[in-house]
Amino acid sequence: ENALEFTPDQIVVSNGAKQSICNAILSLIDPEDEVIIPAPYWVSYVEMVKLAEGKSVIITAGIDQDFKITPAQLEAAITPKTKALILCSPSNPTGSVYSKDELKALADVLAKYPRVIVLADEIYEHINYIGGHQSIAQFENIRDRVAIINGVSKAYAMTGWRIGFIAAPLWLAKACNKLQSQYTSGPSSIAQKASVAAFAGDQSCVGEMRKAFERRRNLVVDLAKQIPGFKVNVPQGAFYLFPEVSYYFGKSFGNRKIENAADLAMFLLEEGHVATVGGAAFGTPECLRFSYATSDENLVEALRRIKEALAKLK
């Protein structure tokens, strides 16, 4: 699909993409090694680096740059201790997607630092609204230093089956295989058979779901833009919206004061009965994460409740 070739011994199948990422980090990172992580980031990246006794170096990319880091930011973050970059596109929690040109610019920076390995989290590959996926592994100047992480959870709605994989340089795949063999062995054979059916079967369902998610994306963005104080971008992938909500910090309802996004998420849960997640867990405390992986009717009702609840804050 992406014009990339790997031999079978470069593939390690794990108990979900989460284990695939953790295998790679534990195999790569020694104490005090640095791992560059763009923020907003998926919550487990930083914790996995902690498990390896490494150091996370966070690059902040705000909504004004569509939550995507620049080549200049990347180069400024690289030091002699940098061992890896974790890049998630399409992104959880923002839904932002790096274009081919943007990835090429990052690859050109990385080409100057041959010791830096790229962990490309592409689990949302098939949920994108830009006409096709772009992998950073496509560029010859860094291809031998890119490990792709993917799985069946998102594209095939198979989260509970726990099948993820890494497609990596042979030396890294061998290390991950050794590590995994000692603490979980292989994933369930039943789940492996199910994933074969997902990959080898009719793919029309994937396209249908992508269209449904895009419709829901458009619906949620339109409704969120109508909420006073929300700063909203237009995600190009995944199924999340990550509005900037600091407008509400310092506002109150009765004896309740909103100090941060966690407070706001709890307020929306208790006052509007809508579940969101505060952005601090993703390295961006001024934002909230919404998932629009539900029906259009639920989304309309949820955004109505959110708007109504927020109107009570003064």
Provide the 3-class DSSP secondary structure of residue 165.
strand
- pLDDT tens by residue, 53-100: 999 999 999 999 999 999 999 999 999 999 999 999 999 999 999 999
Question: What's the distance, CA 227 to chain centroid?
Answer: 25
Closest CA to 107 of 145, 132, 141: 141
CA neighbours within 13 Å on the CB side: how many for 151?
A: 28
- Are 173 and 24 in contact by the 8 Å Cβ rule? The answer is no
Q: What is the pLDDT of residues 245-302, one digit of tens each?
A: 999 999 999 999 999 999 999 999 999 999 999 999 999 999 999 999 999 999 999 9
Find the mean pLDDT for residues 104-122: 98
Per-residue pLDDT tens digits for 6-27 = 999 999 999 999 999 999 999 9
In single-letter form, the type of residue at position 37 comes to I
Q: Given the structure tokens 């109504």, which residue do they identify? A: 308
Give the pLDDT band (50/70/90) at residue 39. Answer: very high
Q: What is the average pLDDT across 200-211?
A: 96
Q: Give the chain's end-to-end CA distance (angstroms, integer).
A: 51
The residue among 77, 94, 84, 86 whose CA lies nearest residue 128 is 94
Within 148-235, where are the H helices? 170-183, 189-200, 204-225
Does 3.30.230.10 match the CATH number of domain 8-200? Answer: no
Fold of 205-310: Aspartate Aminotransferase, domain 1 (3.90.1150)
Indicate the SS3 state at residue 150. Answer: strand
Please give the pLDDT value at position 146: 98
CA distances from 77 to 12, 49, 211 (A): 30, 16, 37
Q: Checking DSSP bridges between strand 256-257 and strand 277-278, what pairing results, if any?
A: unpaired
The mean pLDDT of the chain is 97
Which regions of the chain carry the CATH code 3.40.640.10?
A: 8-200
Q: Smallest Cα–Cα separation from 161: which of 193, 129, 120?
A: 193
User: What would the 3-class secondary structure string for 236-291 be?
Assistant: CECCEECCECHHHCCCEECCEECCCHHHHHHHHHHHHCCCCEEHHHHCCCCEEEEE
Give the contacts of 178 (CB within 8 A, at least 6 positions apart). Answer: none
